[in-house]
Amino acid sequence: MMRQLLVRLLVLGTLLTGTSYVVWRWGWSVNWENWWIAVPLVVAETYALVDAYLFGLTVWRIKVRGDAPPPPEGATVDVFITTYDEPVEMVMKTAEAARRIRFPHSTWVLDDGNRPELAAAAERLGVGYLTRSEDWTDRPRHAKAGNLNNALFATDGEFMLVLDADQVPDPAILDRTLGWFRDDRVALVQTPQWFTNVTDSDPLGSQAPLFYGPIQQGKDGWNAAFFCGSNAVLRREALMQLGIVGYVREVGAAVEDALRTSRRILARAARAARRTDPALARDLEQLRESARQGSRDLRAGTPVAEVTYAFQQAVDGVSRGAVERDFAGIAEDLAAIGELPVEVDQEMGALVVDDAALDRLAEREWSPLGALESVRALARAVDVDRGDEAQPMMPLATVSVTEDMATCMRLHALGWRSVYHHEVLAHGLAPEDLRTMLQQRLRWAQGTLQVLLKENPLVQRGLTVAQRLMYFGTMWSYLSGFAAVAFMAAPVFYLCFGVLPVNAYGMEFLQRFLPYVVLNQLLFLVVGYGVKTWRGHQYSLALFPLWIRACTTAAANVFLRRPLGFVVTPKTRQAGGGFPWRLIWPQLLATVVLVTACVVGVVRLWTGSATSTIGTAVNVVWVGYDLLVMSVIYQAALHRPSDEEHGAGIPAHVTTTPEELES
């Protein structure tokens, strides 16, 4: 309680001094003469303050749970081990450990690589083996989310434990976690991810003890603990409800598209009919209003079947009158109707509409009768069977290359609860080289930003205000690459050219800036007491090129439909020796520029070209801090795991208590 009180006092102090500093920066110290660097710098500082607010809210309500209650009586569990191309020996080691889990369960290897040798190994071990059904052929596969969705419809356990191929579970993992599901609104129990092949120095920053600790505990306090893709137990009922809701939304969106296109077609036809048949024009306008009403009914929650039936009846009523009044242009329209982007899927037995052709259809100059017939075809063409997908229902979210965050956010929006159980109950393998680590971090960042751009948590119905901010805070952190560029560029321009972005490089600046920085660092120190948080802080800046790339590629994927692909993180050391110059050339360039700026700044002060000793000193210290933070990327580039660390044997069963994890 005393620690939590201290944390809250430091949060208040940090936010008060930070807000005062940023308000002063915007109102009194921006050097508008050099706006091209002054504005990016103050925007970056504002970004950092928002980040501090989100972090402060997270740790305001840290929830430290004790032991879970006993597991529910008679609970049935499926253990899913997801794999694509990992070594068979690795997968079977995890499967063997999963089979030794004490609580009664069924173990399944979910092989997205469809490998006969893995199927044979699973059969010898006596565990289940699942691969994709034929329904997935020539349809989107959705990577790991698709693999899990396929398995959900091939199994029937009340709960499921999800493990990556390298995450060897403790025999007590279900005994220690299932008890939280005695609360029938709990959909997820997440445990930490911990790696056995990481040294104490952790040059690749794999352990993430700040996230799998105070941050997840803080989110848990707001009922917003995340699903992290592995080492988690989920309730099947919650996922199936999510799948049904998602299916209804997808079909509703298709109906809305058809109604929207129908309104555009009817508007054009009504304008044409006003010149020749005013009565028909009035009927078309009335039908257009019926389409508008259909859209309003959908938004109000009216069942899709009722909306489509009512609209089809309205179309039929107007069509009967139109047949008697309009025969001109029928031959031409019949030919065009034959080219409508509507076809019958013989296998699925459903009418399918080509969404890409809807705009072209709406722009055509239809006669009134032709317009009615095209609208009638659209109303029948909604693909309720979702023939473009392998399954009508996709319980785990497929909007992102990382399925976990989007799935959990949707569960929370439906009113389900999550639990973060702070006890290491599975041990895995972290990336062993810089290239692999960068692939992994890029995929995480891209997936998170995809969710932000497609399903912004700030506007998602069903989430509490705190839950929205908890999700947004994680997404917001991946924008730090742009702020890092501004923070590194500002001292370079000052030291090399005397360009002043701040109108107060003196004691006034230090008096306002230092309390904010000191309190902020004290907050991190207290929150992360006993936890090594420095590596995570270093990588938030040192990986600035990766974060920028993630932002641009995720935006291109969402808005320009450019593919991202899905890269499975290799679980073994990647081939290739020597220093990885091409992987870190932006950091190398930044380092050279920063060091050069320091030398130039000192020379300018010594020769009298620069007149402010405090200004030069502040910027030299600033650059020194940037270089210290950036140094981690060179440690990672030079890191070569020893033979003992490389491919280290994972303990078959180890239980780590929360106290041991903290220490």
Same domain, 364 and 253: yes
Question: Does residue 634 fall inside a structural domain?
Answer: yes
Same domain, 492 and 344: no
Same domain, 370 and 488: no
Write the pLDDT tens digit of every residue in 595-641.
999 999 999 999 999 888 888 998 999 999 999 999 999 999 988 77
Question: Does residue 38 fall inside a structural domain?
Answer: yes
Which residues, in sequence order, are bridge partners of residue 188? 234, 418
Question: Does residue 662 fall inside a structural domain?
Answer: no
Q: What is the pLDDT of residue 376?
A: 73
CA distance 117 to 123: 10
By DSSP bridging, strand 350-353 and strand 342-345 are: antiparallel
CB atoms inside a 10 Å sphere around CB 358: 19
Query: Could you give the C-alpha distances from 630 to 337, 487, 542, in angstroms and in order?
Result: 63, 13, 5
CA distance 165 to 55: 32
Question: Does residue 80 fall inside a structural domain?
Answer: no
Query: Could you give the C-alpha distances from 228 to 6, 225, 232, 417, 425, in angstroms and in order?
Result: 29, 9, 8, 15, 14
pLDDT band at 154 (very low <50, low <70, confident <90, very high): very high
Query: Could you give the C-alpha distances from 655 to 242, 427, 660, in angstroms and in order?
Result: 33, 9, 10
Q: DSSP assignment of 327-359, as one string?
A: -TTHHHHHHHHTTSSEEEETTTTEEEE-GGGHH
Q: DSSP assignment of 543-584, as one string?
A: THHHHHHHHHHHHHHHHH-------PPPSSPPS--S--GGGS
Encoded tokens for 434 = 């810089």
Cβ(523)–Cβ(7) below 8 Å: yes
Same domain, 492 and 358: no
Q: What is the pLDDT of residue 650?
A: 46
Same domain, 504 and 632: yes
Q: Which of 334, 344, 408 has the alpha carbon at shortest distance from 369?
A: 334
Same domain, 505 and 620: yes
Q: What is the pLDDT of residue 61?
A: 95
pLDDT greater than 70 at residue 352:
no
Cβ(233)–Cβ(333) below 8 Å: no
Domain hosting 601: range is 2-60+474-570+582-638
CA distance 126 to 115: 17
Write the pLDDT tens digit of every residue in 115-143.
999 999 999 999 999 999 998 998 989 99
Question: Does residue 255 fall inside a structural domain?
Answer: yes
Q: How far apart are the first and last CA of the chain?
A: 19
Question: Does residue 37 fall inside a structural domain?
Answer: yes
For residues 258 and 220, which has the higher predicted lDDT (pLDDT)?
220
CA distance 303 to 292: 16
CA distance 590 to 626: 10
pLDDT greater than 60 at residue 80:
yes
Cβ(654)–Cβ(173) below 8 Å: no
Question: Does residue 502 fall inside a structural domain?
Answer: yes
pTM of the model: 0.84
Question: Does residue 396 fall inside a structural domain?
Answer: no
Same domain, 369 and 478: no
Which residues, in sequence order, are bridge partners of residue 502? 30
Q: What is the pLDDT of residue 358?
A: 61
Instruction: Domain count for the chain, please give it.
Output: 2
By DSSP bridging, strand 232-235 and strand 186-190 are: antiparallel
Q: What is the pLDDT of residue 25?
A: 95
Of 521-535, 567-581, 610-624, least confident by mean pLDDT is 567-581
Q: What is the pLDDT of residue 574?
A: 59
- Asked which of 355, 380, 405 is the last residue of a domain, the reply is 380
For residues 561 and 468, which has the higher predicted lDDT (pLDDT)?
468
- Asked which of 357, 380, 403 is the last residue of a domain, the reply is 380
- Asked which of 313, 348, 380 is the last residue of a domain, the reply is 380
CA distance 395 to 247: 9
Which residues, in sequence order, are bridge partners of residue 235? 159
Of 394-398, 552-556, 640-644, least confident by mean pLDDT is 640-644
Q: Which of 547, 294, 550, 519 has the alpha carbon at shortest distance from 401?
A: 550
